[in-house]
């Protein structure tokens, strides 16, 4: 069976723009992860990044750091998360991507992590602090064995040479970080970001791209969707989910915010 991420992008109609959401597993409640995923799918989101809570999330702003702290307090860990994902595996059709830092994954064991991903219906992973050499030498061979996609990030600081190298050596899609700063909602993307988007577009990369970090309203969503295959929203949805404690309500508020 083809990897769900590849299948999703391969079958994408030309005018279709994807929307992916990130949330932190185990927040707001330890037991709610499966319900949040099923609700997000039912509401028409294309794929989901499931955040692995970690005590020192370097790339994340205060909203996601706070969610990770709460999830850890609630008792979330990889073993619990995989058990929860396994329970809903047969109910979820859209791709699930694990998003987390290297430390908990190394602690769990890379091979064990990849096997658990397959056993629980996960299609890929994003590991922001994974050095590219370690990806190529250690992680990629194991991920390939389990038909998992390792999604790499690029930022406005990433050199053109490096971007081409990532494009040649990865599969699935490229996560295009809108700015060189941490995660968090932004009101608009300025001229420098727009120029960065245009520059990457002109490179004609092999892999599709998704733009994330800072998307929270109509302007940032449209800008991302006009310059890539779609947009990834994290902090805004995490904030709404924490406030309402209800995924349907959080999604109602998110869709409303994205119209303004």
Catalytic residues: 49, 60
Alpha-carbon distance of 125 to 88, in angstroms, equals 18
Helical H segments across 98-244, by residue range: 102-108, 110-119, 132-134, 140-145, 160-169, 191-202, 218-226, 235-244
- The DSSP output letter for 91 is G
Q: How many residues does the chain have?
A: 260
In whole angstroms, what is the distance from residue 109 CA to residue 118 CA?
14
Residue 76 near residue 50, CB atoms below 8 Å: no
Check if the beta carbon of residue 24 is closer than 8 Å to that of residue 71. Answer: yes
Structure tokens at 243: 């406030």
Q: E-assigned strands of 52-166?
A: 96-99, 124-126, 149-151, 153-154
Report how far Cα 243 is from the mean position of its chain's Cα atoms. Answer: 21
């Amino acid at each position: 069976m083809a990897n769900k991420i590849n299948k999703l992008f391969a079958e994408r109609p030309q005018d279709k723009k994807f929307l992916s959401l990130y949330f932190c597993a185990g927040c707001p409640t330890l037991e709610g992860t499966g319900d949040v995923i099923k609700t997000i799918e039912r509401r028409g989101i294309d794929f989901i990044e499931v955040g692995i809570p970690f005590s020192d999330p370097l790339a994340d702003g205060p909203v996601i750091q706070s969610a990770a702290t709460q999830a850890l307090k609630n008792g979330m860990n990889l073993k619990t998360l995989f058990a929860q994902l396994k329970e809903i595996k047969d109910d979820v059709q859209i791709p699930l991507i694990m998003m987390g830092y290297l430390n908990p994954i190394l602690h769990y064991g890379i091979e064990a992590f990849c096997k658990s991903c397959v056993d629980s219906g996960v299609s890929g992973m994003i590991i922001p602090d994974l050095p590219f050499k370690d990806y190529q030498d250690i992680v990629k061979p194991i991920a390939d064995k389990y038909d998992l996609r390792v999604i790499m990030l690029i930022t406005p600081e990433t050199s053109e040479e490096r971007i081409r190298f990532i494009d040649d050596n990865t599969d699935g899609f490229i996560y295009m970080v809108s700015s060189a700063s941490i995660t968090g909602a932004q009101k608009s993307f300025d001229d420098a970001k727009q120029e960065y988007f245009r520059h990457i577009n002109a490179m004609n990369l092999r892999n599709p791209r998704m733009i994330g970090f800072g998307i929270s309203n109509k302007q940032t969503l449209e800008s991302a969707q006009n310059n890539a295959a779609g947009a990834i929203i994290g902090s805004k949805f995490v904030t709404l989910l924490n406030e309402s404690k209800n995924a349907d309500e959080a999604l109602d508020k998110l869709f409303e915010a994205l119209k303004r």
